[in-house]
Amino acid sequence: MRKLLVVSGTMVGLTLSLSVQLHAQQAIQVQVGGTPLVPDNLVNGPVPRLPDGKPDLTGPWVGGGSNADIEREGGLQPGDLPLLPWARELRDKRKTQDEPYVACLPMSVPRVNPYPWKFVNAYTSKGVTEIYILHELGDAGAHRVVYMDGRKHPDDVFPTWYGHSIGRWEGDTLVIDTVGYNDRFWFDSRGTPHTEKLHTIERFTRPNYGTLVNEFTLEDPGAFSKTVRLKFTAKRVRPDVELMEDICTENNQAGIAGGYRLNSEQK
């Protein structure tokens, strides 16, 4: 069983706002299993390829992005993330229990959690026209779309959780360029912020059967003093494992404490 159980106490008679705070502070994540990966003897095996000769990046994968601390997980030393003073101050005063992800809102980019995710290619007679990026848990049931048909970013892109993504191949590397993010998601549970000026470039390369490398470029003049280059590595999930149905809002105790309930529970 590969799930995280959330255990918390219930404080009777407290106001809603206080119960939300106490609930989040008392939440404990208990690891009761893990997503099975390909065995070590297969990790360095050959890279499978699609009918057009491009490497098959579909997965599923685990890892390959930030979660707890984008600075550390991206390969930087403590203090190296070039946050502007206001952004550093905001990050340092944010509390884990206040992050949008706790209430089942999207993680966005480049965040991942310990659950598997995968690429899904949409084929037409013209080849791959879109790539969908699906997460088993953490994206509020939504999905991210990468347009592979040669279009450009809109001039008046509307800010959204995932932004507007266009992709292309550079040899065996999938390059995803994204703009149009909103400023609501956190890069990590530490609270690293950004603004609507955020522009990301992801370069996904599969060097062997069991590994996917994400070389990540982050530009945001509203929150960072210079361009940031990070590197994340994902691992291939065992071939017989597929994404499970996992509804974030179902029995999410932190979300329930904050007033997020299924319709059937509100009746």
CB count in 10 Å sphere of residue 136: 20
H/E element holding 28?
strand 28-31
Q: Is pLDDT of 157 > 70?
A: yes
Question: Which residues neighbour 112 within 8 Å (Cβ) at sequence distance 6 or greater?
Answer: 62, 63, 64, 65, 66, 67, 135, 138, 234
Classify residue 16: in a domain, yes or no. Answer: no
Q: What's the pLDDT score for residue 169?
A: 97
Q: Is residue 112 in a domain?
A: yes
Structure tokens, 222: 């509203």
Interval 120-142: pLDDT, tens: 999 888 889 999 999 998 666 67
Number of domains in the chain: 1
Q: Specify the pLDDT at position 254.
A: 57
pTM above the 0.75 mark?
Answer: yes
Statement: residue 15 has pLDDT above 70: no
Q: What pLDDT shows up at residue 163? A: 97
CB 187 within 8 A of CB 213: no
**Considering the domain boundaries, does residue 144 fall inside one?**
yes
8 found inside a domain: no
User: What pLDDT score does 246 carry?
Assistant: 80
Q: What is the pLDDT of residue 27?
A: 35
Residue 91's domain comprises 37-245
pLDDT for 13? 37
266 in a structural domain: no
Say if 54 falls within a structural domain: yes
Q: Please state which of the ranges 47-61, 111-125, 133-147, 186-200 shows the lowest mean pLDDT.
A: 133-147
What mean pLDDT is predicted for residues 234-254? Answer: 83
User: 248 φ, ψ to 5°?
Assistant: -60, -40
Q: Please say whether the beta carbons of 254 and 23 come within 8 A.
A: yes
Distances (CA, A) of 134 to 70, 86, 117, 214: 21, 33, 5, 16
User: Pairing between strand 144-147 and 228-236?
Assistant: unpaired
Average pLDDT over residues 194-200: 98
Residue pair 73/66 in contact (Cβ under 8 Å)? The answer is yes
DSSP assignment of 18-52: HHHHHHHHH-EEEE---PPBPPHHHHTSPPPB-TT
- Identify the pLDDT of residue 49: 97
In the chain, the percentage of residues whose pLDDT exceeds 70 is 80
To the nearest whole number, what is the mean pLDDT of the chain? Answer: 85
How far is CA 260 from each of CA 6, 188, 250, 254, rounded to the nearest angstrom?
Answer: 16, 22, 10, 9
Q: Is residue 232 part of a domain?
A: yes
Establish if 164 belongs to a structural domain: yes
Copy the structure tokens of residue 131.
């790539």
Q: Average of pLDDT values for 137-158? A: 89
